[in-house]
Amino acid sequence: MTEALLDGPSRPAASGTTRQLIVLLHGLGADGNDLIGLAEPLAEYLPDTAFVAPDAPFACDMAPVGRQWFSLQEATPTALLAGARAAAGALDGFLDAQLQTRRLGDGSLAMIGFSQGGMMALHVGLRRAVPCASICGFSTLLVGAETLAEEIRARPPVLLVHGEMDPVVPFAAMGAAAEALAANEVPVAVLARPGLAHGIDPPGLGACLKHLGKAFGIEIPTE
């Protein structure tokens, strides 16, 4: 698996000058088109930021369409960790290639991951040699918490946002992830969204925007 196998929709920096890169990682059964739309509201406040939303490397084995980072046919902790590890090289290489193309360093990179994409953002982002600027995970969980202490190499600030009514990834996963991250000295903030199921809502995206602005050193106006 190489970074050349990953591709997906992108949006250039609105200002024409790229100083930051946000990589949007979709969930199971979707593709990059599912999240690239987030670039529009974010770009209004982050005009020097380019966005890219790679399609996951594998066809979804639980639906007739869409992609997956790894199979969820078996959702045990061991299987989830094995799946994330198997897909990590492709995402890691993709990040390197995207940064190199834009002549940026990891400090100018942020990842936003939804559900399985959030699992990948956390797994890869905490194991890169140089920390990225920020990770925002929506409706996700921390894969491999039991091995993190042995494998962690980077501690970027993390924001976790989760709907309290999520029927897919249990809401309790947010607290468990935050506890494990804090135990490994990762700066972590959480936001619970009452009434929200498995999705991203405007208040959650707004919190993500402020998190990104702080990480990039960009003042985000309070509305």
For 25-41, how does the pLDDT look when each residue is reduced to its tens digit (9 = 90+)?
Answer: 999 999 999 999 999 99
Per-residue DSSP letter, 155? -
The closest of 119, 134, 61 to 85, measured between CA atoms, is 119
Only one residue has tokens 């959650």, namely 204
Instruction: List all residues 6 or more positions away from 74 whose beta carbon is below 8 Å from its beta carbon.
Output: none
Structure pTM? 0.96
Q: Percent of the chain beyond pLDDT 90?
A: 93
Catalytic one of 108, 115, 134, 139: 115
Q: With a cut of 50, which residues of the chain have pLDDT below it?
A: 1-4
**3-class DSSP assignment, residue 186:** coil
For the domain made up of 3-216, give the CATH fold: Rossmann fold (3.40.50)
Catalytic one of 55, 92, 106, 166: 166
- Let me know the angle formed at the C-alpha of 112 by 110 and 115, rounded to the nearest 5 degrees: 150
Domain chopping of the chain, boundaries: 3-216
pLDDT at 223: 63
Judge whether 166 counts as a catalytic residue.
yes
Catalytic one of 10, 48, 71, 198: 198
Judge whether 115 counts as a catalytic residue.
yes
